Structure 1
Amino acid sequence: MDQLLAIRTFVRVAEAGSFAKAADSMNLPRSSVSKMVQDLEAHLGTKLVERTTRSVAMTKEGIAYHERALRLLADLDDMDGTVKGSRSTPKGRLRVDIGSVLANRILIPALDDFRRGYPDIELLLGVSDRATDLIGEGIDCVIRGGALADSSLKARRLCELDYVVCAAPSYLDGREAPRHPDDVAGHQVVSYFSATSGKRFPLRFARGAERLEISPSGGIAVNESTAHLTALLSGLGIGQSFGFLARQHFGDGTLVEMLPDWKPENHVLHLVYPPDRFENPRLRAFTEWAVQLFAAFDARRQDDSGVPSSILMDNVSIPGNFSPGR
């Protein structure tokens, strides 16, 4: 049995949904396609597809094998492309995971530019604020924020996002706005909670050398970043939001900034990837494009030039259970 050909045939059958369609697309007899899949199943000792007269459906084992087969074939294509010198025209699938608000407000609006530059890359965009397992889920990279620690994963620094404290005028109507972080404890707080532990993230404040942390007990908490902004706009309380999100609402008066002298530390964003993936031309192309895209949102950039002060190619390590960025 030619195992590589059998794997390619199985992938084609899985994607076509039938042996007949797969055979037509491969210009092979249906009997040959069916036999290659049967030989692969015999080799593996398990059934990959359930056959009917008109279609096929993958078994649980088939679904798992299909995902691994796609990654294997993509890696083989990358190897061939490197030898053939076609690294300048990357193609194939790329799986990227990113937090909701970053996807909806930064990445997706700019994707048409990426598609024009790399029309042969098929981008699979996973959008959520959950923690991800890059290796186990076959993810090429994630864009996430937060502190980094030592591990086998690598990261490219993208930018820093600043926070602002704000609320809707409808919430502040009849209430005294806080003049000090301690005053926030007397208000309804729109906070963020961990989907894993269920614990709320505290509100952190800094002014010079002073550091304060407020742990809200009332109000509403969400675990998704777009919903957090919606809750603030709906007048549900006071919260800390990314500056690039909130400032557009300061201009039209739908949000009001408070405590401008008390800023938490900036939220650092990284593009994170397994250490063996950066030779992947698709990932390398996406990374270089993302660095330029997120530079425009860097809170440290100089106003006169718009160029970030330190968008560097930092190879740093982070834990496998890297927490989601907001």
Structure 2
Amino acid sequence: MDQLYMLRAFVAVAQHRSFSKAAASLGVTTGSISKAIAKLEESIQTLILHRTTRSVSVTDAAQSYYLSCCRLLEELDEANRRIAQEREIDSGRLRLVVHPMLVNKTFSRLLSDYQAIAPNVNLMVSVREEAVNLYDGHFDMAILPPHLVEQSGVIRRTLSRSRHIFVAAPGYLERCGTPEAASDLASHFLLLDPASKQKGTNFIDLLETGKRMSVLPMSSMDGNEVLLRAAALTGTGIATISEAMVREDIAAGHLTHILPQCSTSESGAEVCLFYSHRELLPVRLRTFVDFCIDFFRSLPGPIPNAMAAIPQRLDRDVDHALTTV
């Protein structure tokens, strides 16, 4: 009989204090466990288990032997896991879901840089706006705002935070003028996130130099940030949008940041990396986690805020294991 199997049988019986439970844990019959224990005792010429009608326990003579077997099996299992991980790093599938607001030049660079360090990983990217549950088997990881992920039992790591700012195309500002104060927005066509509107009205809530106020725009259009950015780039109106999404457009001169003292949100837009809480995360996923955190840390900082400094990133080593209370 396999020596390793006999040791596993012994440890299982000692841990479960039951032959039947040990058999169930190893996926074998109770008779097979009994034979393994008998063979092991014969091999080492020592009684290793006390058996009664109610319980099973390790004999005094076998206590140190039991601890040695536990260490041996743990080291062997860890070696098996490690070699499996090393084999897995160069291959396998990684299914990633991202929010549409992330699909820009920066995200293209993230993909190309990751593929350079993991050329044999099959990266499958889906772009979605709806809520995601990482335990339904469709995705391994998500880069999304927190409210779009079912968070019980997953790991959440904040990649970036950026405030909502006002931007417009230079052509629009030449045609319609540049607002100098929040009250000037009333005479402009605004491109808005529906969440910025007061419920049941067309008023928008915003902050100006830290003070809350409401503005009723002459005309407006609402939609997701992808739509708002596209409309702003064509000169449709003034958009309120997360700074991270339009940073490249501002740098290139396609959009102009206006009203730096104003924002439609105190907290700003947060983007997080989510992955399921597993005892042993596959190496290809762990590599992607570390890569993402390093990549976002290397990005330029936010546009200076006239109201206050808003943190752009959290420390890379902070993990939040979220569980249902």
In the alignment, does 2:156 pair up with 1:155?
yes
| C-alpha distance in 2 between matches for 1:201 and 1:282 | 47
SS in structure 2 at match of 1:293: helix
1:236 is paired with a residue whose SS is coil
What is residue 192 of structure 1 aligned with on the other side?
Answer: 193
Q: Is 1:164–1:242's contact at 8 Å kept on the other side of the alignment?
A: yes
**Match of residue 295 from structure 1:** 297
For the Cα contact (< 8 Å) 2:133–2:150, is it kept in 1?
Answer: no
**What residue number does 1:210 align with?**
211
How far apart are 1:185 and its partner, in Å?
3.5
Aligned-pair identity (%): 21
Secondary structure (helix, strand or coil) at the match of 1:230 reads helix
- Tell me the TM-score normalised to structure 2 length: 0.59
**Does residue 313 of the first structure (1) align with residue 318 of the second (2)?**
yes
RMSD: 3.9
Deviation string, structure 1 residues 259-314 (Cα, Å, up to 9, x no partner): 11224433221101222376232221111111111113364699xxxx96633422
Superposed, 1:108-257 pairs within 5 Å as 108-146=108-146, 151-193=152-194, 205-207=206-208, 209-212=210-213, 218-223=219-224, 225-257=225-257
Could you tell me whether the CA contact under 8 Å between 1:159 and 1:294 is conserved in 2? Answer: yes
Amino acid at match of 2:293: V
Mapped to 2, the partners of 1:200 and 1:311 lie a distance apart of 41
Per-residue deviation at 1:213? 5.6
Which residue number corresponds to residue 277 of structure 2? Answer: 275
Higher relative contact order (CA 8 A, sep 6+): 1
Cα distance in 2 for residues equivalent to 1:136 and 1:232 = 37
State the number of aligned residues. Answer: 233
The structure whose Rg is larger is 2
Query: In structure 2, what residue type is equivalent to 1:95?
Result: R
Paired AA for residue 115 in structure 1? Q
Residue by residue over 1:123-180, the C-alpha shift from the partner in whole angstroms, topping out at 9 and shown as x without a partner, is: 1101132322322252111111246997333201212223321112332334343333
Distance 2:274 2:201 in 1: 25
- Measured against aligned partners, the alpha-carbon deviations of 1:94-139 in whole angstroms (never above 9, x if no partner) come to 1110012313332232322212322232111011323223222521
**CA contact under 8 A between 2:157 and 2:274: conserved in structure 1?**
yes
Shift of the alpha carbon at 1:239?
0.9
SS at match of 2:318: coil
Contact 1:146 1:267 in 2 (8 A): no
Could you tell me whether the CA contact under 8 Å between 2:163 and 2:268 is conserved in 1? yes
CA contact (8 A) 1:178 1:184 kept: yes
**CA separation of 1:189/1:312 partners in 2, compared to 1, >3 Å: closer, same or farther?**
farther
Give the TM-score taking structure 1 as reference length.
0.59
The whole-number CA distance in structure 1 between the counterparts of 2:168 and 2:302 is 24
Partners of 2:172 and 2:303 lie apart in 1 by 33
- For residue 142 of structure 1, give the secondary structure of its aligned residue in structure 2: strand
